Amino acid sequence: MSDRLTKQANEVKVIVFACEAGMGSSLMGANQLKKMVKKANLDITVVHAPVSQIPAEADIILTHKGLAAQAHQRVPGAVVVPFTMFFNDPAVKAIVDRLAAGEAVVSEL
Catalytic residue, chosen from 12, 18, 19, 92, is 19
Ramachandran angles phi, psi of 19, nearest 5°: -140, -175
If one counts every other C-beta atom within 10 angstroms of the C-beta of residue 57, the result is 13
Whole-angstrom Cα Rg for the chain:
12
List of E strands, the chain: 6-7, 14-19, 45-50, 60-64, 79-83, 105-106
Q: Is 19 a catalytic residue?
A: yes
Annotated catalytic residues are 19
